[in-house]
A and B are shown apart, each in its own frame.
Chain A
């Protein structure tokens, strides 16, 4: 892990071959702390690789899994752009973190693996994210039987964005391109998550509030007075 530098780059490395431990949770939480305290635009690079062996769940406890899922969820909602750099087999904690990233580049030969405990697949939130992101039919064999998702399939399902020879260079170019964000990105991300499960009518208010916020902020300038289109009528009030 490296702290957010002046260019707002933070690097996190997750080895999926290692069983989940308190130190893994601590590492992700520490990155989240730094990024939230940084408060400015930046990129979180998450290098993921490795998949756990068959007996990786021995010694695992429900409270530790709870803390881990909470940490990954926090990573998923960070006020910065998160970019995963994947290589080789990615399973366990590596897959968890990969599926929580905004952008995902991978080396050739990268495979996504739903970990098994030796007999059956692990029912953690990677299963949920795979289904949310790719649909149940596309990932059925992976989440039920542990069948690897090969590079081409992962690309076709948009679980990976790009396969490149030099992922690290790709991320550096991305960071230099100015495609970096802070809290405003997190708002769009949250709207995106909720769009999948919210009706148009229920979503409208949040989107109008986000539009109002964008108008107040102006394109790039300081916050300014602004109002959103009163498209929703006067329904709803405050006091």
Chain B
């Protein structure tokens, strides 16, 4: 794959003196986060035995993935040790069941952290790319959990691993337009429902990488009269007791030359959806990472060295390495990204929120610190957000 990089005209060498503000609205804050996984996890070598994979090349892909364990929901043993094949209909049923189960659990954990209840929820935005549902996940969860029937809903389906930040962008706008009202972005990815088992390297890469996971993040904008400046003496704490970071800005970059490099489309030979990843895509993403991050930061008068916390999507070992090198990050900067990959694999759109949760538990962020959230996915695309504690 040959991709040319269209770089912007020389970026401003000196950041702008005055950060750009997005209108007069008070920006949304992150009020809480919660995660959930499916019941069963497997070590990579355990999976190789379970799936009876003997091809040394494929075994090597599994064992060199920088992943220790993943949560997966495998089909039952069909006899003789081999797993039963799953038709596309079975996979869709599995997606529906797991996305609702994990989604409900992540939502409950998120609301608890935010010090809120289901009755406080005013907008629910559900994100998934591992199955197709109509009515969407938001409707299913509202029914399942007894959420107020008048709660606003959005479903973002099929955008891929980057979609959590696309959703955050839209919902942060909603929250800013509705001060004091609670909104949730819920990413629920049943990656076990997107598997194809054959002996090709195409499916081996996918089957070695993805895991089940869901994560929810709560957003709320303070009332306009609340202190907003980062150095304000006494910002109004959220119900959790500690103010979460404010969401300041977003920047995106789609690499249209690489539109086919990441796909989840119909495989006529298999009679099902199948995921495709071009082996070169980590490098393509890495090569474009600076463009979008510098756009995000320069637009807000910041340098890369001003960013204290980097929360990058746990896409896979190669893409994390490419992003780290091209952005000049340290291993410490991506400790949560790497840790989430190691413990859960790639949980698609939910991954960056698993990292955010670890940062929260680490209690390393201090008032005034800036953070960059970054996700990558099909398009090919890089999405970024700037937050400040």
Contact = CB atoms under 8 A, between A and B. Distances in A.
24 contacts: A32-B305, A36-B303, A36-B305, A37-B13, A40-B13, A74-B305, A187-B328, A190-B328, A194-B330, A201-B64, A202-B66, A205-B321, A206-B321, A209-B321, A225-B5, A227-B280, A230-B279, A235-B61, A235-B205, A236-B282, A236-B321, A237-B277, A238-B376, A239-B275
Contact of B65 (A37, A79, A224, A236): A236
A235 B321 contact: no
Interface string B64-96: 111000000000000000000000000000000
B285 interface: yes
A221 to B, nearest CB: 13
Contacts of A234: 61, 201, 204-205, 277, 279
B296 interface: no
Interface of A: 32-33, 36-40, 74, 77, 79, 183, 186-187, 190-191, 194, 198, 201-202, 205-206, 208-210, 212-213, 216, 223-225, 227-228, 230, 232-239
A236 B66 CA distance: 8
B209 interface: yes
Given A213-B325, A236-B318, A239-B376, 9 more contacts: A38-B13, A74-B305, A205-B318, A209-B326, A223-B5, A232-B318, A235-B65, A238-B380, A239-B161
Interface size class of B (residues with CB under 8 A): 35 or more
Interface in B366-389: 376-378, 380
B209 A237 contact: yes
Cβ-closest 8 pairs across A and B: A236-B318, A205-B321, A236-B317, A236-B316, A209-B322, A238-B319, A237-B316, A238-B315
Given A36-B303, A238-B281, A77 B328 contact: yes
B158 to A, nearest CB: 12
B303 A239 contact: no
Nearest to B1: A227
Given A36-B305, A190-B328, A213-B287, A237 B318 contact: yes
Nearest to B349: A239
A37 B282 contact: no
Given A234-B61, A237-B205, A212 B286 contact: yes
B134 interface: no
Contacts of A190: 325, 328, 330
Interface of B: 1-5, 7, 11, 13-15, 57, 60-61, 64-66, 160-162, 201, 204-206, 208-209, 262, 275, 277, 279-283, 285-287, 303-305, 315-322, 324-326, 328, 330-331, 346, 348, 376-378, 380
Contacts of B326: 209, 213
Contacts of A233: 57, 60-61, 64, 279
Contacts of A205: 317-318, 320-322
B325 A239 contact: no
Contacts of A235: 60-61, 64-65, 205, 208, 316-318
Contact of A225 (B2, B60, B65, B315): B2
A186 B304 CA distance: 13
A191 B15 CA distance: 27
